[in-house]
Amino acid sequence: MKNKKLKISDFSKKSEQLAHVDLQDLTPLPPPYDKIEDEPVWGKIKPEFRETHECTLDDTVAVGIPKPKTPEEEKELVDKFVSGLQKLFEKENNWPFLQQLMLTLEHCAKCQTCVDACPIYEASGKNEIYRPTYRSEIWRRIVKKYVQKKPFASFTDGDIDLNWTTVSRLLELSYRCTICRRCAQTCPVGVDNALITHELRKVFSQEMGIAAKEIHEKGSMLQLKVGSSTGMNSEVVKDNIDFIDEDMTDLTGIEVKSRWDVQGADVMLLHNAGEIIAWPENPGAFAIILEAAGINWTLSSETVAYDGINYGLWYDDTQLAKVAIKHAQAAQKLGVKKIVVGECGHAHKALTVIADRVLTGDLNIPRESAMTLLEDIVFSGKIKFDPSRNDFPVTLHDPCNMVRLMGIVEPQRRILRYLCPQFREMTPHGVHNYCCGGGSGFAIMSAHNFTNWRVSVSGRKKFKQILDAYSDCPGPETKKYLCAPCSNCKGQIRDIFQYYNAKEKSNLIYGGLVELIVNAMVDVKPGFISWEDAF
Amino acid sequence: MILNIVSYLSILIFLITVLYRFIRIANTPAHLRWDLYPVPHEGFKKAKYGGSYYEELDWWTKPRHVSKASELAVMLPEIIFLKGVWEANRGLWFWSWAFHFGLYLAVFMAALVVASVIIGPAITIGVILTKIAGISTILGYILGGIGCFGMIFKRLFDKKLTMFTTAGSIFNLVFILAIFVTGLKAISEVNLFTTDQSSLIGQMQMFVSGLVGFESVPLNSSVVWHIGVTLAFLVYMPFTHMAHFVLKWFTYHGIRWNDEPNTAGSALEKDLIKSLHFKPTWAAKHVMANGKKTWVDIATDEVYKDEK
């Protein structure tokens, strides 16, 4: 189907595939990434999978649920979907977002002011199905016609057919938005179309038990069962941290020993456990800095509490609450003064902001960002720095959850301005940044050919921004560093760089903020950040 | 007298409906935070780049500053000039601004008419208000009419908007256009710039006096049409998305800029505890809701307790 002729009503009509992503339509990248023929060819969804699973939205699949076998089964699922939508408007079921949702349902002026703010819509060459209002328009029409049963809804709000095709495509479409909320930021009325993505995912998860496998089954469920979505139990995580400490000691020449379960510590540090597996230098660098600054800190080995992730933030309020409470309970048990969230954007938002209205009484333990603690340490004079060790071009990626959605903008910048002589900003940056393209769980989702989509479409705008920040030194002769103080963003950026071979073509590597801090520490052996060892 | 009765009813329905919608939203339970930065009440300095109190070490130990002046500095250009549309949707801006500003001037005119009736249209201040009302009317109706035409044209022919244009959205615009057109027609048939009863404002003043005094007053038929269309719109508007003129207060102050931290023993905490004791009925197995368990039960229950 020609995307440009797409109508709202097409969404409910059965077809093999509703929309197509044509690589020719994607917004161009700067040289040497500007040749469409050099774009990696997208993998195809296997015909046998297509035969048995729902993948009729576009060229990729994020959830891919099995096709219902009978019309009765289809009807049952559609009815469940409607029942879930009804629950979204009941205070017993959706007090956490009822007010936000009612206002967003009722006050969109359909002015399309928000659409150009969406990096996915723009990068796709304005493919209609990725327009932030396309998804929300369908949702509004369904709610008004089938849930509220509003008289003349088809006339006042527009018509839509509700059938299994509509529901199964909405499921997939709810995983084509990173919930970065850039669209909401531009809405003059204050309507939030990204919230609709969030609430749709909730209906599928909380009512129908359907969610992307990586964020539910292998994500929050695994975390609640074993302790971490990485699969590490507390013994394994302790062993891994021991290995990291040894490696860091060798690398830096400073004795590194992470602390576990220190009763009454000032700080309980909460890492995204993905760091321990994928970027061990990050928890290692944290340990070096906190020790050097003389902070009384600890990690918790309590189940769930050694992994700061909380994927419920993206799709399920009940999962969010379960994990947040475990984190707070662990801190309560240790009697720490505060929880400090490491370099993980969604963990920041989930535990500090969202869970603020879940954690009551004794569980409301003070929580803050590592950015502010790090800023305090860096400017305290407790550690000596040599900024010339970081004398290479550095730019900063602003994780949406930490910046646009929490307002933590300057502490990390003050550190970078001080420690990185060639620090430069992206355009736009701060609260107007672009999402890395891996938000809302995408960074950990890679089944079938989803990586193709999330890198070349949802991550495209960010990659262009990164390259533009180095437009004065694009070639491989200049070493360049992208600072991304967020695990999920790093996962996405890793995949973007690998996909486009950015290390070889641009000598571009990425990492966190603490790595730059340690790299500039006078007491540390030079070369903590290494272009040779980075992939 | 029929016009008077229709007017009382229309104004009553308008007020009740708007109030109902306001109270309905105000009565929703305390919700989770969903703030979005910049949050202007963080003060001019922080609002400029979008910073929050989370940028401060041990933020919970420090006094929280809420700057209303900084909020106002963001709200005024947004309300008066539609700054957000100017920045993100330039092609629509002029039409949308003309449309909204025309409405503002029309409302301003109505307020001036009421004020001049209360003060007395014949005394000096009343005369001045009447004259300002006259200017406000002609400017507002012309601007609003142009805005309406432009918006209808955009809705019908701009590719960015057409997919989302419903019969209802055209109906709304035509309805508002009818107010401006009947107003302009009335202006063309009565004397605008005099302050006597033959002018539009004079006729409006008579109408308002009649409403206040429960008296029937003779009005020009074009003025009656204009008032009739406006009253019909007053009844209709609060049932539509156009009620955002009031409910926008919640989208901004209640959600986007709501960064109030939950503190022990606060009224907010008490409200939240009430919400946490609601009994959800979500059906997915992993939620473990059964209509009897509260959110607290669910959030603290072990997902895998059967396996342990």
Q: What does the buried/exposed string (b/e) look like for A237-270 if buried means 16 or more CB atoms within 10 Å of the residue's CB?
A: bbebbeebbeebeebbebebebbebbeebebbbb
pLDDT at B306: 54
Check if the beta carbon of residue A415 is closer than 8 Å to that of residue A378: yes
CA distance B255 to chain A (A): 7
CA angle A369, A375, A380 (to 5 degrees): 135
**pLDDT bracket for residue B67 (50, 70, 90):** very high
Kindly give the residue spans of alpha helices, DSSP state H, lying in chain B: 2-26, 44-49, 68-81, 83-88, 90-119, 124-157, 159-162, 167-189, 200-213, 221-236, 244-249, 267-276, 295-300
Residue B170, pLDDT > 60, answer yes
DSSP state, A270?
E
CA distance B264 to chain A (A): 6
pLDDT at A422: 98
Which of A86, A115, A121, A360 best probes binding to B when mutated, by most B CB atoms within 10 angstroms? A360
Prior bond of A30 cis (ω within 30°):
no
Average pLDDT for chain A: 96
ipTM of the complex: 0.95
A368 in contact with B at a CB cutoff of 8 Å? yes
**pLDDT bracket for residue B187 (50, 70, 90):** confident
| Cβ-based contacts of A7 with chain B (< 8 Å) | 163
**pLDDT bracket for residue A352 (50, 70, 90):** very high
Which two structure tokens, joined as six digits, stand for A310?
């909380």
Task: Give the residue on B whose Cα is nearest the Cα of A412.
Answer: B55
Q: Centre a 10 Å sphere on the Cβ of residue B23 and count the other Cβ atoms it contains.
A: 9
A507 in contact with B at a CB cutoff of 8 Å? no
How far is Cα A498 from Cα A493, in angstroms, rounded to an integer?
8
Task: Name the residue type at position A170.
Answer: L
**pLDDT bracket for residue A42 (50, 70, 90):** very high
Task: Give the residue on A whose Cα is nearest the Cα of B294.
Answer: A92
Nearest to A97 among B32, B96, B276 (CB): B32
CA distance B132 to chain A (A): 30
The region of weakest confidence among A8-17, A214-223, A478-487, A526-535 is: A526-535
How far is Cα A310 from Cα A313, in angstroms, rounded to an integer?
6
DSSP state, B32?
-
How far is Cα A391 from Cα B300, in angstroms, rounded to an integer?
49
Cβ–Cβ below 8 Å for B50 and A403: yes
Which of B18, B21, B23, B31 best probes binding to A when mutated, by most A CB atoms within 10 angstroms? B31
Prior bond of B38 cis (ω within 30°):
yes
Contacts of A40 (CB under 8 A, 6+ apart): A452, A456, A499
**pLDDT bracket for residue A412 (50, 70, 90):** very high
Prior bond of A40 cis (ω within 30°):
no
Cβ–Cβ below 8 Å for A431 and B261: no
Residue A281, pLDDT > 80, answer yes
pLDDT at A1: 46
User: For residue A97, which phi and psi values (nearest 5 degrees)?
Assistant: -135, 15
Percent of chain A past pLDDT 70, that is, above it, reads 99
How far is Cα A528 from Cα A509, in angstroms, rounded to an integer?
13
Cβ–Cβ below 8 Å for A354 and B32: yes
DSSP state, A511?
E
How far is Cα B208 from Cα B101, in angstroms, rounded to an integer?
23
Residues facing residue A338 across a β-bridge? A267
DSSP readout, A27-39? Answer: PPPPTTS--GGGS
> What average pLDDT does the segment A17-42 reach?
94
Residue B121, pLDDT > 80, answer no
Task: Give the residue on A whose Cα is nearest the Cα of B166.
Answer: A158
Which two structure tokens, joined as six digits, stand for B48?
């400029």
Q: Which of B77, B302, B279, B125 is nearest to A227 (CA)?
A: B302
Cβ–Cβ below 8 Å for A404 and B36: yes
Task: Give the residue on B whose Cα is nearest the Cα of A104.
Answer: B251
> What average pLDDT does the segment A338-346 reach?
98
A449 in contact with B at a CB cutoff of 8 Å? no
CA distance A489 to chain B (A): 19
Q: A residues 379-418 near B, CB within 8 Å? A: 403-411
DSSP state, A307?
-
Check if the beta carbon of residue A1 is closer than 8 Å to that of residue A15: yes
CA distance A530 to chain B (A): 30
pLDDT at B33: 97
Q: A residues 249-268 near B, CB within 8 Å? A: none
Cα distances (angstroms) measured from residue A186 to each of A173, B159, B258: 21, 20, 17
β-strands A367-369, A480-483: how paired? Answer: unpaired
How far is Cα A429 from Cα B95, in angstroms, rounded to an integer?
30
pLDDT at B189: 79
pLDDT at B123: 84
Cβ–Cβ below 8 Å for B33 and A321: no
β-strands A394-396, A367-369: how paired? Answer: unpaired
| Cβ-based contacts of B269 with chain A (< 8 Å) | 360-361, 364
**pLDDT bracket for residue B216 (50, 70, 90):** confident
Residues facing residue A341 across a β-bridge? A270, A369
Nearest to A407 among B31, B54, B303 (CB): B54
Residue B48, pLDDT > 50, answer yes
**pLDDT bracket for residue B194 (50, 70, 90):** low
Cβ–Cβ below 8 Å for B54 and A128: no
User: For residue B306, which phi and psi values (nearest 5 degrees)?
Assistant: -65, -25
Q: A residues 111-170 near B, CB within 8 Å? A: 111-117, 128, 133-134, 137, 152, 155-158
How far is Cα A272 from Cα A488, in angstroms, rounded to an integer?
9
Q: Which of A173, A171, A161 is nearest to A14 (CA)?
A: A161
Nearest to B255 among A108, A190, A353 (CB): A190
Q: Give this prediction's pTM.
A: 0.95
| Cβ-based contacts of A185 with chain B (< 8 Å) | 36
Nearest to A207 among B87, B161, B282 (CB): B282
| Cβ-based contacts of B163 with chain A (< 8 Å) | 6-8, 128, 134, 137
Average pLDDT for chain B: 92
| Cβ-based contacts of B263 with chain A (< 8 Å) | 364
Q: Any idea which residue has 């646009």 for tokens?
A: A404
Q: What does the buried/exposed string (b/e) look like for B186-223 if buried means 16 or more CB atoms within 10 Å of the residue's CB?
A: bbeebbbeebebebbbbbbbbbbebbeeeeebebbebb
Residue A3, pLDDT > 80, answer no
Largest CA distance in chain A: 74
Q: What does the buried/exposed string (b/e) look like for A135-174 if buried means 16 or more CB atoms within 10 Å of the residue's CB?
A: bbbbbbbbbbbbbeeeeebbebbbebebebbbbbbbbbbb
Residue A52, pLDDT > 50, answer yes
> What average pLDDT does the segment A475-489 reach?
97
pLDDT at A5: 78
How far is Cα B141 from Cα B101, in angstroms, rounded to an integer?
10
pLDDT at B125: 87
Q: Which of A216, A193, A220, A224 is nearest to A65 (CA)?
A: A216
Nearest to B31 among A98, A112, A158 (CB): A98
Check if the beta carbon of residue A400 is closer than 8 Å to that of residue A462: no
Percent of chain B past pLDDT 90, that is, above it, reads 78
> What average pLDDT does the segment A10-14 reach?
96
pLDDT at A2: 47
DSSP state, B38?
-
**pLDDT bracket for residue B307 (50, 70, 90):** low
Q: What does the buried/exposed string (b/e) look like for B52-62 if buried means 16 or more CB atoms within 10 Å of the residue's CB?
A: bbbbbbebeee
DSSP state, A53?
B
CA distance B123 to chain A (A): 41
pLDDT at B68: 95
Which of A94, A409, A412, A433 best probes binding to B when mutated, by most B CB atoms within 10 angstroms? A409
Task: Name the residue type at position A211.
Answer: A
